């Protein structure tokens, strides 16, 4: 009996020790997470809100830095952030729900709902839009080339008109993968035309209200007041300036969300209450190209690996807002980091946090590689080649003149400045570097001039990041 009591006491002691260790463990891990965000954990700096969810339970949630520098408002898990392209996973979920409802087919021709689009050589389907294989030129890139400020005020009608003016595609639908915000904007148009409800209203009805996400919503009115919202900043000198989106376009972005409501979204990934397991399967299955190549992209989600573990997530950015959502489905761990400073790269931070919680399961102990935040205006063009032999002054003079793009409704001017060919257009003036044979580059832009049978210059074809095959005609 004494021996039995000794064993029982020993077991209890071990159990209590284990419980104490388990109770201490989240605190110690949280302190490690705090160190990741130390540089922004100040009263004079923007920063981030972070949530770590494990097995449906929040194991860390905290704000670092300030949501509003003018009024000394700190960031908390309840602070509402604009999460940029992280919105796409919610747009993707809406499309999966509509397909399950039978209101659309993912293989419908997009012109069934948006007949204003040109009739291209091959049809663009809803599935192409979801997987970024449509070939549609990115509307942020188009606005930049037209000289329209990306942080200006614009709405659905303006963007739809811009997209439908494009007579050519970057490539044949389904033949390549190239990130296009235009596709996800058009999905928001399809939602409205298929249901009679805006994307905001439909997502609220079918996703956010059922999950209790009362403050999460698509922001389709930039003048609307939002309580508890973080303002966004960019560095300027030794301080900061405001850097806020001022448009009403949603689908590709537009979602406002606090990290404290991310737990409901993460729980539903496993519970599948809003659409069933088949919707989760649909939204996390990567797309394929026409030749059968499997992509690493699904319905607004990147599907990949990190240090040997399967991941599903996405990044987002606009203005000074930066966001990253990273999920490890097999480990049932997810990290969300929403930030309000343009110089923060939250994709790096979510992976550093994952390193803390999954240390024993990661194969590679090396530091995480830099993960760039998704920037809708970022160029995906290759770095320009080194300049070749300069063209003669006579040949350069043949290129001088005005060139018009009806698809952009803008005119670019080429002129000589000494022995340099300068282009003025897209809101800037810059030098062109000769690559030989009537080819020039300027940063991420590439111009290829065209001539008629007599050798007269008739125009040029522009490629710039997510915009290709754009024709300018000499006036």
pLDDT < 50: residue spans in the chain: 1-25, 368-370, 372-373, 375-385
Structurally, the chain folds into a number of domains equal to 2
The tokens for 83 are: 């999460």
Contact 134, 229 (CB under 8 A): no
Q: What is the pLDDT of residue 388?
A: 54
**Do 334 and 401 reside in the same domain of the chain?**
no
Residue 374 in any domain: the answer is no
Q: What is the pLDDT of residue 335?
A: 98
**Do 114 and 241 reside in the same domain of the chain?**
yes
Q: What is the pLDDT of residue 2?
A: 44
Q: Which of 340, 357, 374 is the last residue of a domain?
A: 357
Q: At what angle do helices 346-357 and 2-36 cross, to 10 degrees?
A: 170
Q: What is the pLDDT of residue 27?
A: 85
**Do 124 and 233 reside in the same domain of the chain?**
yes
Q: Which of 299, 330, 357 is the last residue of a domain?
A: 357
Q: What is the pLDDT of residue 268?
A: 97
Residue 14 in any domain: the answer is no
**Do 266 and 323 reside in the same domain of the chain?**
yes
Q: What is the pLDDT of residue 436?
A: 86
Q: Nearest Cα to 65, choosing from 240, 307, 202, 318?
A: 240
Q: What is the pLDDT of residue 26?
A: 57
**Do 230 and 126 reside in the same domain of the chain?**
yes
User: pLDDT tens, 358-398?
Assistant: 999 998 755 544 454 454 444 444 444 455 566 788 889 99
Alpha helices (H) in 374-462, listed in sequence order: 393-397
Residue 196 in any domain: the answer is yes
Q: List the domain range (segments joined by +) for residue 435.
A: 393-474
**Do 333 and 465 reside in the same domain of the chain?**
no
Q: What is the pLDDT of residue 391?
A: 77
**Angle, alpha carbons 465-413-453 (nearest 5°):** 85
Q: Assign 473 to helix, strand or coil.
A: strand
**Do 406 and 461 reside in the same domain of the chain?**
yes
Residue 371 in any domain: the answer is no
Q: What is the pLDDT of residue 1?
A: 46
Q: Nearest Cα to 227, choosing from 47, 78, 63, 48?
A: 78
Q: What is the pLDDT of residue 112?
A: 98
Mean pLDDT value across the chain: 91
User: pLDDT tens, 151-163?
Assistant: 778 899 999 999 9
CATH number of the domain at 146, please.
Answer: 3.40.710.10
Q: What is the pLDDT of residue 22?
A: 38
Residue 381 in any domain: the answer is no
Q: What is the pLDDT of residue 378?
A: 46
**Do 111 and 191 reside in the same domain of the chain?**
yes
**Do 142 and 291 reside in the same domain of the chain?**
yes
**Do 194 and 284 reside in the same domain of the chain?**
yes
Residue 153 in any domain: the answer is yes
Residue 311 in any domain: the answer is yes
**Do 122 and 237 reside in the same domain of the chain?**
yes
User: pLDDT tens, 311-359?
Assistant: 999 999 999 999 999 999 999 999 999 999 999 999 999 999 999 999 9
Long-range CB contact pairs, 424-431, < 8 A, 24+: 425/145, 425/147, 426/144, 426/145, 426/146, 426/147, 427/144, 427/147, 427/148, 427/149
Residue 46 in any domain: the answer is no
**Do 207 and 305 reside in the same domain of the chain?**
yes
Q: What is the pLDDT of residue 374?
A: 52
User: pLDDT tens, 24-36?
Assistant: 345 899 999 999 9
The tokens for 65 are: 């830095």
Q: Which of 357, 384, 416 is the last residue of a domain?
A: 357
Q: What is the dihedral of CA 73, 77, 79, 81, to 10 degrees?
A: 130
Q: What is the pLDDT of residue 56?
A: 94
Counting beta carbons within 10 angstroms of the beta carbon of residue 9, is it exposed (0 to 12), middle (13 to 18) or buried (19 or more)?
exposed
């Amino acid at each position: 009996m004494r021996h039995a009591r000794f064993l029982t006491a020993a077991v209890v002691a071990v159990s209590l020790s284990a419980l104490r260790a388990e109770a201490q463990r989240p605190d110690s891990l949280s302190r490690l997470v705090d160190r990741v965000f130390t540089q922004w954990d100040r009263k004079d700096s923007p920063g981030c809100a972070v949530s770590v969810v494990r097995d449906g339970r929040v194991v860390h949630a905290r704000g670092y830095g300030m949501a509003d520098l003018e009024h000394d408002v700190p960031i908390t898990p309840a602070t509402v952030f604009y999460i940029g392209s992280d919105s796409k996973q919610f747009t993707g979920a809406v499309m999966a729900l509509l397909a399950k409802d039978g209101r659309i087919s993912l293989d419908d021709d997009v012109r069934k709902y948006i007949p204003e689009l040109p009739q291209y050589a091959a049809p663009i389907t809803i599935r192409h839009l979801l997987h970024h294989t449509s070939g549609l030129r990115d509307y942020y890139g188009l606005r930049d080339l037209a000289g329209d400020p990306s942080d200006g005020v614009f709405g659905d009608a303006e963007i739809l008109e811009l997209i439908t003016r494009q007579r050519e595609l970057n490539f044949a639908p389904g033949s390549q993968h190239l990130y296009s915000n235009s596709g996800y904007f058009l999905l928001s148009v399809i939602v409205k035309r298929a249901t009679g409800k805006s994307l905001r209203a439909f997502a609220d009805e079918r996703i956010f209200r059922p999950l209790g996400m009362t403050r999460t919503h698509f922001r389709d009115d930039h003048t609307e007041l939002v309580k508890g919202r973080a303002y966004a900043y960019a560095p300027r000198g030794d301080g900061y300036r405001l850097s806020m989106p001022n448009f009403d376009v949603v689908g590709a972005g537009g979602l406002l969300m606090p990290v404290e409501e991310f737990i409901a979204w993460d729980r539903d990934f496993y519970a599948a209450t809003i659409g069933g397991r088949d919707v989760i399967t649909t939204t996390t299955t990567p797309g394929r190209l026409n030749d059968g190549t499997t992509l690493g992209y699904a319905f607004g989600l990147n599907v990949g690996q990190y240090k040997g573990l399967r991941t599903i997530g996405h990044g987002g950015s606009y203005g000074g807002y930066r966001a990253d959502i990273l999920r490890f489905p097999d480990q049932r761990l997810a990290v969300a980091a929403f930030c309000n400073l343009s110089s923060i790269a939250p994709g790096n931070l979510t992976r550093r946090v994952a390193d803390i919680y999954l240390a024993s399961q990661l194969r590679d102990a090396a530091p995480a590689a830099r993960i760039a935040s998704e920037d809708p205006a970022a160029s995906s063009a290759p770095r320009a080649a080194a300049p070749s032999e300069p063209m003669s002054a006579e040949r350069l003079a043949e290129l001088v003149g005005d060139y018009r793009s009806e698809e952009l409704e803008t005119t670019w001017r080429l002129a000589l400045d000494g022995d340099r060919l300068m282009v003025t257009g897209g809101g800037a003036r810059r030098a062109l570097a000769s690559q030989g044979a009537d080819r020039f580059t300027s940063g991420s832009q590439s111009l290829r001039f065209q001539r008629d049978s007599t050798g007269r210059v008739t125009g040029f074809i522009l490629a710039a990041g997510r915009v290709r095959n754009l024709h300018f005609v000499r006036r």
